[in-house]
Amino acid sequence: MERNSSSSAETADVLSGHGDAFDGVTVIVCASCRDETGSDAHPRAGELLADDTRRAASGEDIRIRAVDCLGNCKRRLSAAILRDGCWSYVFGDLTATSGADLVTGARLFATSTDGLIPWRGRPDCLKRGLVARIPPLDLLKDLT
């Protein structure tokens, strides 16, 4: 569901902790996602997931951003984890309480030496819910 980009769902938070371990890592949550029933009730399940992710990230140096739509509606609640200069990941089939799993994924990504989220230690919902892995733009420049 697309909405005006000036919507209140597009908010950025920087939750500060004690260092820069998460420097360059951002979790993006689709705030307009509906739950498995397809209910149009507000707050939407995506907004609840964004709030749960912010709570789980409290005290960590990680950016959480809620956006209006990730265009992954068939896979319900969706989120992405991005890291500067690395592959990006899109996940679906999440629940409103998957925030801690998203933060765990962000933590694994931040400490990865090869720029990938390691499979080992990745929460189950980030294994079975993987929708896409998108290469960094720098990698694509060589494909011309």
Listing DSSP states for 84-140 in one string gives: TTS-EEEEEEE-TT-HHHHHHHHHHHHT-SSSS--STT--HHHHHTEEEEE--HHHH
Q: What is the amino acid identity at position 142?
A: D
Residue at 93 is within a domain: yes
Q: Does residue 59 sit within a domain?
A: yes
Find which of 7-16, 22-31, 50-59 is predicted with most confidence, using mean pLDDT. Answer: 50-59
In CATH, what number is assigned to the domain containing residue 43?
Answer: 3.40.30.10
Q: Assess if residue 25 is contained within a domain.
A: yes
Report whether 53 contacts 13 (CB < 8 A).
Answer: no
Is 121 within a domain? yes
The total of structural domains in the chain comes to 1
Q: For residue 136, is it within any domain?
A: yes
> pLDDT value at position 43?
94
Q: How far is CA 125 from CA 23, 50, 58, 100, in A?
A: 24, 16, 21, 11
Quick check: 8 pLDDT over 90?
no
Q: Is residue 4 part of a domain?
A: no
Sequence-separated (6 or more) residues with CB below 8 Å from residue 113: none
- Indicate whether 24 belongs to any domain: yes
Q: What is the mean pLDDT of residues 3-17?
A: 43
Does residue 5 carry a pLDDT above 60? no
Task: Establish if 2 belongs to a structural domain.
Answer: no
Please write the tens of the pLDDT for every residue from 68-99.
999 999 998 999 999 998 999 999 999 999 99
Domain that holds residue 105: 11-143
